[in-house]
Structure 1
Amino acid sequence: MSKRVPIPAVRRVLLYPRDGARAFEATLNATRWLREHAVAVKVCALTEGAGAEALRREGAEVVPHCDGLAEDCDLVVALGGDGTLLRASRWAAEAGVPVLGINLGDLGFLTAYQAEQGEIGLAAAVHGELAWEPRLRMQVELQRGGRVFLRETACNDAYIKHGEFPRLLSLATDVGGQFMATYKADGLIVCTPMGSTAYNLAAGGPIVAPSATAFTITPICPHSLTHRPVVVDAASLIEITYEGPVEGGAFLTIDGQTSVSLELGDRVVIDAAPDPLRLCPPEYSVFRVLATKLGWSAGMGGRTR
């Protein structure tokens, strides 16, 4: 899934900023620049007030939510960090619209441009110089009592974790119709390659190349030292049955956005989503970002190629 697909010169852009003064300033500047280049601009996720009026004066259409708006745009631009891009991706992916990230925080894994490079990214979009790459998503289904209780699509991960009172969970896991293990652990993470640098990484899971078509299953603080993260083919259906405990409970969380409590016997079924996220990839590889964040280049003379 590493094919790059050129994006024609954009004429309609949806801006999705995170909260905060820095993001508002970046959004205002992006709106001004895009309007000067005859690009129609919509801005969502902003509360009404002086900020919204300032954006309207620059020619933006300010909208209260993003649902159903991406279909009418050529590009979604997320202004923030990886979390902001991930939130934008949840509905942009469904619309089949590419997502470009402009990072306003620390060096991110997913954003294509840093804050000071924002206009460079916008210029590339306007001049038809951007391209997107497909990123695997997962379809997550919670089945309860033989019925589908919840169905959502995730770009990063889905995980089961104990509730307010820490209890060792029992999670029977099948892969591709074959029993794999019953995990005794604080929880279990299933992630896409893109999500491998999120909660999975913090839990000691492997870093997977973003273009891979695989899912990673990573236990959280397993009771058995022999339980280790496993990488499986994305074509293999993953089924997790919640077997207890009764007290304390557990939660299923999807992309950090949706969380629902589990009942005994609930089954979480995870499969590859039919349509990928169309991501304008970062200039640097995930391994370059890791080398910068974690100091992997130390002792190598600062080599970064």
Structure 2
Amino acid sequence: MPIPAVRRVLLYPRDGARAFEATVNATRWLREHAVAVKVCALLEGDGAEALRREGAEVVPNCEGMAEDCDLVVALGGDGTLLRASRWAADAGVPVLGINLGDLGFLTAYQAEQGEIGLAAAVHGELAWEPRLRMQVELQRGGRVFLRETACNDAYIKHGEFPRLLSLATDVGGQFMATYKADGLIVCTPMGSTAYNLAAGGPIVAPSATAFTISPICPHSLTHRPVVVDAASLIEITYEGPVEGGAFLTIDGQTSVSLELGDRVVIDAAPDPLRLCPPEYSVFRVLATKLGWSAGTGGRTR
């Protein structure tokens, strides 16, 4: 979907000197092009004053700050974009990523292309694509203990002391398996290149409407990652052990300890993330950054 020429932008930088410099430069460029700028950053003293001198409004908390903006710009890596997406998606505001990190599966522009991305936004040349999100609910004792929306993944993993977990899993109201493993990852297509990839799960095209269920170090070699329709409700019951414990972690941002009998229920969130996609596909990024192109004669199609 095309994004009209933006006139109000919220910048969300990660911590660090490089991100601060990029934020100052982006603020200066946007203000020179008559764009109102907010910067969400925990800055005090000289840092905040430097941004204010460039014409930015500095806000310490992002909650509720995106509603009156046309675009959120995340300045950092995929983790920064993911954190920005958690509240930008709820506001229905598109997110553009400028990569200051390493891999950058989700960011649309590299650091040296930052002004190109900002110019595209100002001239109405950006577009967004929907990205599936998941709604994660922790049920305890018949009540909802926690409810969150995730862009990437939700996973259950053992606590401080490694223990083999028992995780009974239903999909679409049908029993699928009781996993005996170090943990279990459920991810969106966007999240398939995160923890899921490291655990040996499949890479799923970002536009797909599916969830992936990937065991972490399963005790049985026959337990393999499974891709299911996002319309299928996923229910995971924590069956043990009593000692050692386990944790549910959502998008790497929220973590809560589990008790015996807790149920984690996952389904598709009603509203997608509006992401300004990278110019190249996730497979092109993998080929370039992870060396998949070796031996192909340099083909990049």
**Alignment TM-score, normalising by the size of structure 2:** 1.00
Q: CA deviation at 1:33?
A: 0.2
| C-alpha distance in 1 between matches for 2:15 and 2:265 | 34
- Partner deviation per Cα, 1:88-120 (whole Å, 9 max, x = no partner): 000000000000000012231000000000000
Aligned equivalent of 2:22: 26
- Partner deviation per Cα, 1:42-82 (whole Å, 9 max, x = no partner): 00123211010000000000001100010010000000000
| C-alpha distance in 1 between matches for 2:200 and 2:227 | 13
After the TM superposition, which segments of 4 or more aligned residues of structure 1 sit over 3 Å from their partners? Answer: none
* Seq. identity, %: 97
| C-alpha distance in 2 between matches for 1:46 and 1:167 | 38
Q: CA deviation at 1:296?
A: 1.1
Q: CA deviation at 1:26?
A: 0.2
| C-alpha distance in 2 between matches for 1:264 and 1:158 | 18
Unaligned ranges ≥5, structure 2: none
- Partner deviation per Cα, 1:264-291 (whole Å, 9 max, x = no partner): 0000000000000000000110000000
- Partner deviation per Cα, 1:213-233 (whole Å, 9 max, x = no partner): 000000000000100000000
- Partner deviation per Cα, 1:228-281 (whole Å, 9 max, x = no partner): 000000000000000000000000000000000000000000000000000000
- Partner deviation per Cα, 1:125-174 (whole Å, 9 max, x = no partner): 00000000000000000000000000000000000000000000000000
Aligned equivalent of 1:7: 3
**Alignment TM-score, normalising by the size of structure 1:** 0.98
Q: CA deviation at 1:293?
A: 1.8
| C-alpha distance in 2 between matches for 1:120 and 1:201 | 30
| C-alpha distance in 2 between matches for 1:266 and 1:121 | 45
| CA RMSD across the alignment | 0.5
Aligned equivalent of 1:104: 100
Q: How many residue pairs align between the two structures?
A: 301
Q: Does 1:275 align with 2:282?
A: no
Which one is further off, 274-283 or 293-302? Answer: 293-302
Q: CA deviation at 1:187?
A: 0.1
| C-alpha distance in 2 between matches for 1:73 and 1:33 | 17
| C-alpha distance in 2 between matches for 1:215 and 1:107 | 23
- Asked if 2 retains the 8 angstrom alpha-carbon contact of 1:107 and 1:114, the reply is no
| C-alpha distance in 2 between matches for 1:237 and 1:107 | 32
